[in-house]
Amino acid sequence: MYRQIRGWRHDYRNHIQTMKAYATSGDLEAIREYLNLLDKDLTAVDTSIKTGNPMTDAILNSKISLARAKHIQVIADAHIPLKLKTSEIDLCCIIGNLFDNAIEASLKLPEEQRVIRLCMDMKNTQLYISFTNFTAGKKLKKIGTRFLSTKGKNHGFGLVRIDAIVERLEGYISRNSEDGAFTTEILLPQV
């Protein structure tokens, strides 16, 4: 994404020269077409979320772009500090796995029903993370503290990884499955 932005900035002068040439020849339709192409290119590069934490921005924007490419609406509200006690590796693992699972579940729905909601914010001294996605299935069955993976045997490693990180960081995790929706909420101490 950053490479694309740098490339676009690098080509800025060429874009201006091209539009000046079209303007000189009076070709307004060519200018309109060129501006539409530039607008599409910029929309693909635009970062859709700025949390205040560069690493979180990178993973979230990457996953949001991936979701949107698969025609999944993403509603995101994320505000977190620049510095967190939680390591970038742990946070990347949590966000990445939650997003991957939400995207996979969303793909089983018709496009107009595909929605992922995410919220990240500080609640006093804890980082709060919430992911909700709509699902095509009924309420999932739980064995002990874990929901059965709908992917079959030898799956669900992402959830195990998330659980291990939350436990190691002495945080809190809650998962809730309802008919048509799945929500994960996590609290991670930052002091």
Q: Any residues with CB less than 8 A from the CB of 90 and at least 6 apart, and which?
A: 165, 169
Give the model confidence (pLDDT) of 168-185 as tens digits: 999 999 998 888 899 999
Which tokens go with 146? 């874990």
pTM for the whole structure: 0.70
Res. 66: pLDDT tops 80: yes
Nearest to 191 by CA among 128, 120, 129, 127: 127
Give the model confidence (pLDDT) of 136-160 as tens digits: 776 666 655 555 555 545 446 788 8
How many other CB atoms sit within 10 Å of the CB of residue 137? 13
